[in-house]
Structure 1
């Protein structure tokens, strides 16, 4: 089983390079990115599926567009940067971080900045999910198509692997231990089922926050949607970094485990590895179902008049949302 996982992981590492040829052919064909015209999406409630049922199968053709593959490579870059930053934060330099408690604070606060900045930088291009659990929640809510969801998950795993190997390459020998490379382990006396429930709970909080920031009908157009998402991730780290490592992301746990096995010949990380898949994915499912129930009870009649909402122009200036017709609807719209 472990050998199969490593083989699949190595194939994932080759995926981005194979995709370059698809992107090159697409951009030199009839579907050029320059054909896109930014337009302001109409406010909608997430209890009315953003992708209409009558249009769903037509949306599957998006895989033939250059914008789709651009978004995929943006997702690859975002996940690579996320995992790289988190693993670097976890390296405990004794002269700088004197205690495990200080390390936990460093990682939690640092990841708030990481998610906020990466989400702001790349959120316009496909949403910057950076997490298979988030992508699954978005797919269940019909925010994205099944094609985009599946490709995103594969890309995210590849990004996590690339990030882990990159951190391994740039780390000094003294930092290359099974724990310092960033593996997630269950804490002392924490059982597998307890770890599963902990990961599910903190991932549910994260995914609920992601879904809420994208609910234009209830929140309006949020100026910086990646900020509350970063805060939710930081909260999860504060709550569970000592009990499970607070992964909340299968891509974040897979990369370091493969690196430890392949480069350090250490296999302990596989013992409870299923927890870091089942827990976050279950959390994404729970968040999607709960948010559907909450949002279905009462449909908002109009968007709330947040200052970030272009329907309410307080300064009498022209405003528009920077997006494009082939990507919308996606989380991560930024007001310019």
Structure 2
């Protein structure tokens, strides 16, 4: 065998088993599913629909219970060095999202956040019927979770610590807070899209198993960055639950920021992933 033949055989003997770069974007192993219908009345007759809503309620209830109690513990201590600190609060939020997404992903998709539900709805991953039901159940779960925390803490101590409600902190403007919520939610929802991308799941079997980890880690990192600005919401249900139970003017003055910011951030993430990353509107359907 001559040298040229050696090179030819050697170059093809150990070919790449997994396509890299643009080659990985081949559609041979995956077919884009049709978008979810805008209205799907048949869902209302399905037990799985209500089971998913209950799962969202319980998950958001547990999320508020653990995270707001962590915030209360931090604020109640006279020695901040002896508490979990801001890093611990961020871990509480990120860790609970990791655990709860893992537990509920197979039932409801593990949204636990109206902004995530909104972003996925814009991408036509679920119907408007289901999206609205999820948001209602998430908000109810958040209210109940914050209410249980108030019961544990007692009214006086709960009020003294602002009930864990989101507010614009001193030294920052409303514009700063709105921008922080938009960017923070963009990070979260973009991570959700990337971690749950069905096309990636079709190629890489490990992706769905790891999905809760990057989502929880994104929540952790965003909290580290923006707790000093707004206490970090990136979740309208979390802000609504704490505001309703705290129910002081301070919690309501800037409450709109914690709805507008997350919804705008979620919409931008949906547009970026669906149009720029996946280019779905430009693909022809069979």
TM-score (ref. length: structure 2):
0.80
Match of 1:81 among 59, 62, 67: 62
Deviates more, 1:246-255 or 1:171-180: 171-180
CA RMSD after TM alignment: 2.3
Q: 1:278 & 1:293 partners in 2: Cα distance?
A: 22
Contact 2:37 2:126 (C-alpha < 8 Å) held by counterparts: no
1:173, distance to aligned residue in structure 2 (A): 5.2
Unmatched tracts of structure 1, length 5 or more: 1-42, 300-336
Residues 99 and 160 of structure 1, relative CA distance in 2, 3 Å threshold: same
- Residue of structure 1 aligned with 2:81, choices 68, 80, 98: 98
2:265 aligned to 272, 283, 288, which one?
A: 283
**Aligned positions, number:** 247
Look up the match of 2:219. Answer: 233
Partner of 2:4: none
Corresponding position of 2:186: 204
Q: Return the alpha-carbon distance in structure 2 between the equivalents of residues 297 and 282 of structure 1.
A: 20
Which whole-Å CA distance do the structure 2 matches of 1:155 and 1:218 have between them? 30
Deviates more, 1:153-162 or 1:216-225: 216-225
Equivalent-residue separation in structure 2 for 1:57 and 1:136 (angstroms) = 13
For 1:110-156, what per-residue CA distance to the aligned partner results, in whole angstroms no more than 9, with x for missing partners? 22221111111122111120100000011011111111001111111
Over 3 Å counting, the alpha-carbon distance change for 1:44 and 1:87 in structure 2 is: farther
- Within 1, Cα distance between the matches of 2:39 and 2:81? 56
Tell me how far 1:296 sits from its aligned partner. 3.1
Q: Are 1:90 and 1:103, in contact at CA under 8 Å, matched by a contact in 2?
A: no
- Which has the larger share of helix? 2
Unaligned runs of 5+ in 2: 1-28, 282-286
Give the equivalent residue in structure 2 for 1:218.
200
1:116 to 77, 94, 98: 98
Q: State whether structure 2 residue 109 is matched by structure 1 residue 162.
A: no
Q: Is the 8 A contact 2:38 2:129 kept in 1?
A: no
Deviation readout 1:252-295 (Å, 9 max, x if unpaired): 0111111112xxxx321111111111001111101100111233
Question: Are residue 182 (structure 1) and residue 164 (structure 2) matched?
Answer: yes
Q: 1:5: which partner in 2? A: none
SS at match of 1:243: helix
Once residues 185 and 160 of structure 2 are traced to their aligned partners in structure 1, the CA distance between those partners, rounded to angstroms, is 24
